[in-house]
Structure 1
């Protein structure tokens, strides 16, 4: 078996907003990765059993789109997903698995080696959305899409997604970084909270008039490498999330979240659905931010 690696992903901007057609920006994160391997020992047993249940779902929902005979035979041989991507941390653990299964077993898979167009991206997203729904109840398909393409993606709307170049990293004092809340989160309950909030007219209005405005402005500034307006809008975005996404912010991070806004030393935002796992930090002075966040493990994902 070829063992292509599938890397983690980070949704820099667009969490929840992309459900309501805000822009989104997602990037690969190559510090974590996974691949399909064979192992009859206990180390791969839990993953093997999970893939077995996933295979049943694929057989029921995709007809003859996957080589189920080959997949089931490999599961019987002890195939599992050998991964360093932490589960429940918002960095695409299930997305990488979905991408790996698609790459290996889809009968008429879209081969990105021949080039990628918006039309092909849309087809892949639709397939991945249906596949990953097994794990989350409802999925946009974006996580497996970026894990499969391993390229930064700009989401303009649900039906308009394209690859995009982002500014090269520089050895400056600024950084985008992950903050570990100390415990995993569950996607489905957080998404349900969001949908419950959407039933309130006041929340729908502030999402469209404020959150989407700040989110889209952050993306535009980041892509241009224009960091002053980026941080101005990051403060507004972080403040808005503190007011309206508080149930999704890991409890242990609430004080740190507020402190960053009050001191302007860093700004935090959700990384994925929230509830636990990682949150994202943005700062112009990473060493100073680390001092304020010394209770938490942090890791840099982008320098400027």
Structure 2
């Protein structure tokens, strides 16, 4: 028995900034996906997933929010007891929404009076979905914007204007043959954990200097990147990504694995590529932007790269 597929996502812009009301842009990434399945015999990975689902189901039954959403936890618990697990190719701790896809699958199957992807998705409905998903995903991270599951559930690009204003977005179509520019993922080879990174960020937010930098540099460049990307203004986009990459290197060093600091700096100095965080950082994937993927490949020849979007 197998449920529908839910895809991974990539937050192109907005990591950390969306906590403080910057713009953000998240796109589905169909390379990875997951689905709820049931089997009588479970291997080690499926057994781990089944145990994790039991913890989530227990959390939902003990922390109900009936004004927001009602889950059929009896059915969920019965299905888990019958051998249900989340069969997923989405790497965990890599910033591409492994828990988001699971949350979307649970909502899709067990929420009562659910908002479906076929209806007219008004701003109010999108916000309600985002709130529901934030509540469920907080089980995994302690703090969630709800954005990853929203992206996975809808399988559409999501534009975040602010915490209370999200909409589905059209992104410029990819130019695979004409241009050399690309957005790519660089595999750090390290599993990252969201909660410790978010805790570091929240501690830093207690400092006036950091808060000012976030508002005057980080959010400013993030918002400009979102606008440039959506309008297809590639020249301005790369100018702003360079500034954003530099700001992250200067002020978010704990979120960048130390062995990548020099590589990050090299990209800014040579303009061959610019790196930024993919999700909360600390490992997993690092997001790269380049105007010439051939040059970036050469400079990053020791690393595994995956193209996710062509300019």
Q: Equivalents in 1 of 2:195, 2:46: separation in Å?
A: 25
Q: Which residue of 2 aligns with 1:30?
A: 30
Q: Equivalents in 2 of 1:254, 1:234: separation in Å?
A: 17
- Give, in angstroms, the shift of residue 12 of structure 1: 0.2
- Give, in angstroms, the shift of residue 269 of structure 1: 0.3
Q: Which residue of 1 aligns with 2:160?
A: 155
- Give the length in aligned residue pairs: 304
Task: Tell me which of 79, 92, 100 is aligned to 2:84.
Answer: 79
Q: Equivalents in 2 of 1:303, 1:63: separation in Å?
A: 42
Q: Which residue of 1 aligns with 2:263?
A: 256
Instruction: Report if aligned partners of 2:156, 2:168 keep a CA contact under 8 Å in 1.
Output: yes
Which deviates further from its counterpart, 42-51 or 22-31?
A: 42-51
TM-score (norm. length: structure 1): 0.98
Q: Which residue of 2 aligns with 1:91?
A: 96
Instruction: Report if aligned partners of 1:88, 1:184 keep a CA contact under 8 Å in 2.
Output: yes
Q: Which residue of 2 aligns with 1:21?
A: 21
Cα-to-partner distance string for 1:123-143 (whole Å, 9 max, x where unaligned): 001111010000001111111
Cα-to-partner distance string for 1:115-174 (whole Å, 9 max, x where unaligned): 211110000011110100000011111111111111001100000000110000002211
Q: Equivalents in 1 of 2:29, 2:191: separation in Å?
A: 18
Which deviates further from its counterpart, 246-255 or 149-158?
A: 246-255
- Give, in angstroms, the shift of residue 24 of structure 1: 0.3
- Give, in angstroms, the shift of residue 79 of structure 1: 0.4
Runs of 4+ in 1 over 4 A off after TM superposition: none
Q: Which residue of 1 aligns with 2:54?
A: 52
Please list every run of 5 or more consecutive structure 2 residues that lacks an aligned counterpart in the other structure: none
Q: Which residue of 2 aligns with 1:241?
A: 248
Which deviates further from its counterpart, 57-66 or 101-110?
A: 57-66
Please list every run of 5 or more consecutive structure 1 residues that lacks an aligned counterpart in the other structure: none
1:10 aligned onto 2:10: yes
Q: Equivalents in 2 of 1:37, 1:203: separation in Å?
A: 45
Instruction: Report if aligned partners of 2:2, 2:38 keep a CA contact under 8 Å in 1.
Output: no
RMSD: 1.0
Instruction: Report if aligned partners of 1:214, 1:237 keep a CA contact under 8 Å in 2.
Output: yes
- Give, in angstroms, the shift of residue 63 of structure 1: 5.7
1:61 aligned onto 2:66: no
Q: Equivalents in 2 of 1:123, 1:264: separation in Å?
A: 41
Matches within 5 A, 1:105-116: 105-116=110-121
- Give, in angstroms, the shift of residue 2 of structure 1: 5.7
Instruction: Report if aligned partners of 2:2, 2:37 keep a CA contact under 8 Å in 1.
Output: no
Query: SS in structure 1 opposite 2:145?
Result: coil
1:41 aligned onto 2:42: yes
Q: Equivalents in 2 of 1:232, 1:68: separation in Å?
A: 49
Query: SS in structure 2 opposite 1:282?
Result: strand
Instruction: Report if aligned partners of 1:38, 1:78 keep a CA contact under 8 Å in 2.
Output: yes
Q: Equivalents in 2 of 1:156, 1:291: separation in Å?
A: 36
- Give, in angstroms, the shift of residue 61 of structure 1: 1.3
Cα-to-partner distance string for 1:254-281 (whole Å, 9 max, x where unaligned): 1111100000111000000000000100
Q: Which residue of 2 aligns with 1:182?
A: 189
Query: SS in structure 2 opposite 1:113?
Result: coil
Query: SS in structure 2 opposite 1:231?
Result: helix
Query: SS in structure 1 opposite 2:33?
Result: strand
